[in-house]
């Protein structure tokens, strides 16, 4: 009986979905930034590291803050930011790490995420 309860306790229950927003800016004075989203695995709402709306159109963001504000409005919580510069190429990479409790997702999104993972 003790082993059975230990086994059920040790099962890994995922409580959060994590997202990394990745931004790349070229050049020292570059104003355009390419913003991608990494959810680890794709669902029908996320395709090739971009977000798509209910109509299937790609959502585009001018800056990392635009993307962060959008995600915060959707209930995602900011965890950490970090950046890196690629040598002489003057390319800067910016990363924001976010998470959302699975319990806070709407039922349709939650079921699709759970069924695909």
pLDDT at residue 59 greater than cutoff 80: yes
Q: Which tokens belong to 43? A: 């669902």
65: helix, coil or strand? helix
More confident residue, 86 or 15: 15
pLDDT value for 76: 93
Write down the pLDDT at residue 46: 43
Mean pLDDT, residues 75-81: 95
Q: Which residues pair with 100 in a beta bridge?
A: 17
pLDDT the model gives residue 41: 65
Whether this prediction's pTM lies above 0.95 is answered by no
């Amino acid at each position: 009986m003790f082993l059975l309860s230990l086994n059920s306790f040790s099962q890994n229950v995922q409580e959060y979905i994590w997202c990394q927003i990745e931004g790349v800016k070229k050049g020292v004075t570059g104003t355009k930034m390419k913003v991608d989203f990494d959810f680890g695995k794709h669902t029908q709402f996320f395709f090739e590291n971009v977000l798509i709306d209910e109509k299937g159109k790609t959502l585009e963001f001018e800056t990392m803050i635009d993307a962060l504000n959008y995600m915060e409005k959707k209930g995602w919580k900011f965890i950490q930011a970090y950046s890196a510069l690629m040598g002489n190429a003057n390319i800067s990479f910016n990363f924001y790490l976010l998470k959302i409790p699975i319990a806070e997702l709407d039922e349709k999104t939650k079921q699709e995420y759970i069924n695909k993972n």
